[in-house]
Chains A and B, each alone.
Chain A
Amino acid sequence: GNSVTQMEGPVTLSEEAFLTINCTYTATGYPSLFWYVQYPGEGLQLLLKATKADDKGSNKGFEATYRKETTSFHLEKGSVQVSDSAVYFCALDSGGGADGLTFGKGTHLIIQP
């Protein structure tokens, strides 16, 4: 079956530090990959996505590259801000969008000023 594994949190960084949150997946076929972000008290929001191997998704300074050879989709940001504090979820879709996403357990990111 499909699965997504994320690094355990919380991850605590200082403002302007470099961020990497690791994500690896197991899936049949060629899934689309996503990062979602959840701010306190809110639902998840799409942060970025990549639909095929070597694609790079980017948004708000965050990037992730679809690596088929390592089945990974690590999230990176060069300089984090306090406002980036949230829970980040890696997810995959192998069903063409019709049957929902498989999510990782989420990584809680805390940015200290």
Chain B
Amino acid sequence: DAGVIQSPRHEVTEMGQEVTLRCKPISGHNSLFWYRQTMMRGLELLIYFNNNVPIDDSGMPEDRFSAKMPNASFSTLKIQPSEPRDSAVYFCASSLAGPDAPLHFGNGTRLTVT
């Protein structure tokens, strides 16, 4: 099993540019989560999907952030336009929905917006 795969590993962009982060969950998992990690706020849940349907996006900080899951094996998180305060590590995680199911995290995308 390849685990959760995220790309790119590192992204450096200028303020105002569009950024797209990608995630391939573990095959067979039906829940997918996007988290953001910063020193100040720790891990924040941005949005999660069950069976490709967005369930709760209340953690998405602003309308500049959007996420899609067009099929069970792919999700994107887009920031448009990006700002320096968006700099963080963004993690995707997947799991089998159900009690006590552990999350399986990707290695993250480190985003730097200059």
Q: Interface on A for B, CB 8 Å cutoff?
A: 32, 34, 36, 41-46, 49, 51, 89, 93, 96-106
Nearest CB of A to B8, in Å: 14
B43 interface residue, CB < 8 Å from A? yes
Q: Which residue of A lies closest to B41 (CB)?
A: A105
How many angstroms between the C-alpha atoms of A99 and B45 in the bound complex?
Answer: 10
Q: Does A43 lie within 8 Å of B31, measured CB to CB?
A: no
Contact partner, B97, options A42, A49, A97, A102, Cβ 8 Å = A97
How many angstroms between the C-alpha atoms of A102 and B45 in the bound complex?
Answer: 8
Contact partner, B98, options A36, A42, A45, A97, Cβ 8 Å = A97
Q: Which of B55-76 contact A (CB under 8 A)?
A: 55-56
Knowing A32-B99, A96-B99, A99-B48 are in contact, say whether A43-B55 is a contact too (CB < 8 A). no
Q: Which of B68-114 contact A (CB under 8 A)?
A: 91, 93, 95-103, 105-108
Contacts of B42 in A (CB 8 A): 103-106
How many angstroms between the C-alpha atoms of A36 and B42 in the bound complex?
Answer: 13
Contact partner, B95, options A42, A44, A97, Cβ 8 Å = A97
Nearest CB of B to A97, in Å: 4
Q: Does A44 lie within 8 Å of B99, measured CB to CB?
A: no
Q: Does B106 lie within 8 Å of A100, measured CB to CB?
A: no
Q: Does B43 lie within 8 Å of A89, measured CB to CB?
A: yes
Q: List 18 A-B contacts (CB under 8 A).
A: A32-B99, A36-B103, A41-B107, A42-B108, A43-B93, A44-B93, A44-B105, A45-B105, A46-B102, A49-B102, A96-B99, A97-B96, A97-B100, A100-B48, A100-B103, A103-B43, A104-B42, A105-B43
